[in-house]
Amino acid sequence: MKTVTPHQLKNLLHDGGELALLDVREAGQFGESHLLFATPLPYSRLELDVGALVPRKSARVILCDDGVSGAAEMAARRLAQLEYSDVSILAGGTAAWTNAGQGLFKGVNVPSKLFGELVEHEYHTPRITAQDLVRMKETGEDFVLFDGRPLNEHRKMTIPGSTCCPNAELPYRVPSIVKGPKTKIVVNCAGRTRSILGAQTLINFGIPNPVYALENGTQGWYLSDLKLEHGADRKYPDRIDEATLPALQASARKLIERFGIRAANAGQVESWLREKDRTTYLCDVRTPEEFDADSIPGAVHAPGGQLIQATDQWVGVRNARIVLIDGGANVRAPVLASWLKQFGCGAWVLEGGVRSTLKA
- Average confidence (pLDDT) over 260-268: 97
226/216 Cα distance (integer angstroms) = 13
Do the domain assignments include residue 162? yes
Listing DSSP states for 65-129 in one string gives --SSS-HHHHHHHHHHHTT--SEEEETTHHHHHHHTT---B-SSSHHHHHHHHHHHHHHT--EE-
Q: pLDDT digit string (tens) for 171-225?
A: 999 999 999 999 999 999 999 999 999 999 999 999 999 999 999 999 999 999 9
pLDDT computed for residue 360 by the predictor:
81
State the burial class of residue 277 (Cβ atoms within 10 Å of its Cβ: 0-12, 13-18, 19+): exposed
Among 105, 134, 168, residue at a domain's last position: 105
Q: Are residues 94 and 196 in the same domain?
A: no
- Which region, left, alpha or beta, applies to residue 244 given φ > 0 means left and ψ of -120 to 50 means alpha? alpha
Residue 139 predicted with pLDDT over 90: yes
- Whether the CB-CB separation of 327 and 354 falls below 8 Å is answered with yes
Q: How many domains does the chain have?
A: 3
339/109 Cα distance (integer angstroms) = 16
Q: Are residues 30 and 101 in the same domain?
A: yes
CATH code of residue 93: 3.40.250.10
Angle between helices 193-205 and 170-177 (to 10 degrees): 70
Among 105, 122, 141, residue at a domain's last position: 105
Sheet containing strand 346-350, strands side by side? 262-264, 346-350, 321-325, 280-284, 300-301
Do the domain assignments include residue 207? yes
Do the domain assignments include residue 41? yes
Q: pLDDT digit string (tens) for 1-32?
A: 899 999 999 999 999 999 999 999 999 999 99
Domain of residue 283 covers 251-355
Q: Are residues 302 and 219 in the same domain?
A: no
